Amino acid sequence: MKDMKLTFIGGGNMASSLIGGLVTDHFNPGHISISDKLESRREDLAARFGVSTSENNITAAEGANVVVLAVKPQQLREVAEGLAPIIQQGRPLVVSIAAGVRSSDIEQWLGGNIAVVRTMPNTPALVQTGATALYANPRVTEDQRDMAESIMRAVGLTLWVDDEALLDAVTALSGSGPAYFFRIMEALETAGVELGLSREAAHLLTLQTALGAAKMALESEESIATLRKRVTSPGGTTEQGLQVMNENNIDRLFSEVLKAARDRSAELAKIFSES
């Protein structure tokens, strides 16, 4: 890992977060190269992390052990086809962080017979608290799996899936999940204001309560259901609030939410494949 040459194609927020996490974990920035069209972004990344930069994808990818495709899904085919000659020549591991683009399409665009790891990070990766699912195609070796996991673990938790179709479920749960929690937090804050709290007080209490609940769940060996029961006194305020949730069938609501997001993820994958 320490002698690996790593190239990022695209230097946006997610790439920047991964690079920051890797450098914090003592990965040698001299072994990282970045390609991006924006001169201002290249200058910023070079100044912040001490990495090498280029405006040319082929130049940046030359000699790389791992190439991370960190461009928008709509741009991925054009970028991959442009990289195909250098990828076929060096045969590095290719890691994609583009949502909704199948590994088989990426491999085809790169010319075929290439080790591809498709990942689904979520936006909390931007603050090193992300959750990333990974899928490896059959050409990925164990060493390459370790390399891919090490890169993505720099911004949070990692989890492998054996069936690529499960990435649509991952997208629905953890990929889109932050927006669902933001929406719940938004509703709690508004409800707190309606009960007479100031906007600032309701905001701070909502954020700290969400943080505390997540921290308790992460650090406990008990199930989430058990933790919920422990803070729900019979006949108390929490029980009364939960009863309203159950009466409005919150389980069915979130089941429908995730199914809708999963189905849309599958639809987008098909669109990117056919475009």
> Would 132 be classed as within a structural domain?
yes
Question: Residue 29 in 3-state DSSP?
Answer: helix
Render pLDDT for 124-150 as a digit per residue (tens, 0 to 9): 999 999 999 999 999 999 999 999 999
Contacts of 271 (CB under 8 A, 6+ apart): none
Helices then strands, counting H and E runs in the chain, come out as 12, 8
> Would 190 be classed as within a structural domain?
yes
Q: Are residues 137 and 183 in the same domain?
A: no
Domain-ending residue, one of 111, 142, 167? 167
Render pLDDT for 156-183 as a digit per residue (tens, 0 to 9): 999 999 999 999 999 999 999 999 999 9
Render pLDDT for 238-247 as a digit per residue (tens, 0 to 9): 999 999 999 9
How many domains are contained in the chain?
2
> Would 271 be classed as within a structural domain?
no
Render pLDDT for 99-120 as a digit per residue (tens, 0 to 9): 889 999 999 999 999 999 999 9
Q: Are residues 65 and 128 in the same domain?
A: yes
Percentage of residues in the chain having pLDDT higher than 90 = 96
Question: Rounded to an integer, what is the distance from CA 96 to the centroid of its chain?
Answer: 11
Separation CA 114–CA 133 (nearest Å): 20
Query: How confident is the model over 40-65, as a mean pLDDT?
Result: 97
Render pLDDT for 12-52 as a digit per residue (tens, 0 to 9): 999 999 999 999 999 999 999 999 999 999 999 999 999 99
Render pLDDT for 185-234 as a digit per residue (tens, 0 to 9): 999 999 999 999 999 999 999 999 999 999 999 999 999 999 999 999 99
User: Is residue 274 very low, low, confident or very high in pLDDT (cuts 50, 70, 90)?
Assistant: confident
Q: Are residues 79 and 162 in the same domain?
A: yes
Decide: pTM greater than 0.85: yes
Domain-ending residue, one of 134, 167, 200? 167
Q: Are residues 163 and 183 in the same domain?
A: no
Query: Domain containing 54 — which CATH number?
Result: 3.40.50.720
> Would 275 be classed as within a structural domain?
no
Domain-ending residue, one of 147, 167, 187? 167
Spatial contact of 92 and 61, defined as CB atoms under 8 Å apart: yes
Question: Residue 117 in 3-state DSSP?
Answer: strand
Please, what is the Cα angle at 92 between 273 and 85, to 5 degrees?
65
Task: Please choose, from the candidates 153, 74, 81, 85, the residue with its C-alpha nearest in 3D space to the C-alpha of residue 117.
Answer: 153
Position 3 scores a pLDDT of: 77
Query: Domain containing 205 — which CATH number?
Result: 1.10.3730.10
Question: Residue 96 in 3-state DSSP?
Answer: strand
Q: Are residues 145 and 220 in the same domain?
A: no
